[in-house]
Amino acid sequence: MPQIKVTTFDSPLAGLDVDVLLLPVFENADSASPWEALDEALGGRVGEALGSRPFSGKARSCLAVPLPAGGELGEVLLVGLGKVEELTPTSYREAIASGTSAAVRRNGERIAIAGRDDAAAGAEHAAAATEAVLLSQYRFDRYKKPSKDATQLAELLLPEGAGVGDAIERAQRICRGVAWARDLINLSPSDKRPPALADLVADVAAKVGLRCEIIDEARARKLDMGALLAVAQGSTTGPRLVVLEHAPEAYATQAPVVLVGKGVTFDTGGISIKPSAGMDEMKADMSGAAAVVATMRAIAEIDLPRRVVALVPMAENMPDGDAYRPGDLVTAMNGKVIEVLNTDAEGRMILADALAYGVSEFSPECIVDLATLTGACVVALGEDVAGVMTNNDALSAELVAAGTRVGEPLWPLPMFAEYDKLIESKVGDIKNTGGRWGGAITAAKFLENFVGDTPWAHMDIAGPAYRTKAKPLAPRGGAGFAVRLLVDWLHERDAG
């Protein structure tokens, strides 16, 4: 994440020493009334622009207002919020993100955002604006440095107000988590093979105060994690299961929420090899793992008053001579015998042992797993919406509500008993694929075999986890999807 300083101001807008001042404008606004003092100081330039230019205030549209030379303000940029009755926290973030990107393109290194009471006020405004700016300005430059001539935002100024400082600090900490998730997803797969990725996570865990344990291949064998080991056996590097725990002293004995994230660091499909086109994007098949570890980092930094455990199974799925095969029968940690029909259905295999371990080891209050699990979910819901499947409708509703609040949408898919028949095996307990139809649901039905009676939800994030095209809050590449969702959900669950 770029090092952007976020501060507050309580001086008149006209006296701000910034390159660009963003003014949020509703659609079809016909006056500069929210900024009368500014408009007067600028000789009516804002009102003139609103009344005479082809700018309607449509959501995410922008218009630069010419200013007289010699003033403190470098430039004013009108930013459309859309219709007032249609404004949501998500549309507000996206508008501010679009305006910020436009300001940076106009060489804005130091920008301010004016608040308006009818859009978002005080701490809520500050948090939303901070998220919009920091997330929209994320750049991944580990392997290719940005041009020396490219403008980079250095400072953001927001209106001062009650609770604003705390809201800014909290938003910054959460955004650091999102940026870290994006970094991990965008890493070259050769730099995040399971042992290396586990060490990266352990290093950050130590810095933020999370307990970390790394279960290696030898320990996984002692734990009878046959499904995790099967997927990993085609790779020259062994698997890992990373265990993270956030447990403030007052909550150390509390039944934890357990988060599980799929960490296939590269997925060739194994013996059931994928087509070569687009296989480079399979470096993102650990997006669930990235989201989970980044969530743990964020809740440690904001000191969430709750015990949370994360389990991150990591493996490479490679087509080596030792790779597991279609037709293999594999015994998972909980004793379930899995008939392997497709080695490219590997994510559910490594999740199976992690789920079973979480249930047996931690007796959780509830368990939520995240995975880029099926193309079928993308077919059903598209690239912007994740699916959620559950054995507990109340838990699903909580997650959907959190997704709505932060702008990371989830949609429930059914878990009818009829789907169980599609994964019944004649030679084992279950098959690792139910075939073409209802693929996202049968994958979830497979996972359900490893959670017992524990309240559980599965989030298939295959669509929104990796952006093939940029959006206002996320450039192309790893999106860090669900970090903000999970932090919000955990906060609200604690508050409730």
Q: Retrieve residue 160's tokens.
A: 């001062």
Locate tokens 């130590």: which residue?
206
Q: Which of 110, 116, 274, 471 is catalytic?
A: 274
Phi, psi of 381 (to 5 degrees): -120, -10
**Strand pairing partners for 244?**
212, 310
**Strand pairing partners for 62?**
79
Cβ(482)–Cβ(407) below 8 Å = no
Mode of pairing for the β-strands spanning 366-371 and 329-331: unpaired
Q: Retrieve residue 407's tokens.
A: 């702008």
| Helices 439-448 and 347-362: angle between axes, nearest 10 degrees | 30
Q: Which of 93, 262, 283, 348 is catalytic?
A: 348
Q: How far apart are CA 156 and CA 9, in angstroms?
A: 10
Q: How far apart are CA 62 and CA 363, in angstroms?
A: 52
**Strand pairing partners for 314?**
240, 263
First to last CA, the chain: 32
Residue closest to 133 by CA, chosen among 160, 95, 165, 166: 95
Is 116 considered catalytic here? Answer: no
Is 192 considered catalytic here? Answer: no
Locate tokens 């994006």: which residue?
182
Q: Just list the catalytic residues.
A: 274, 348
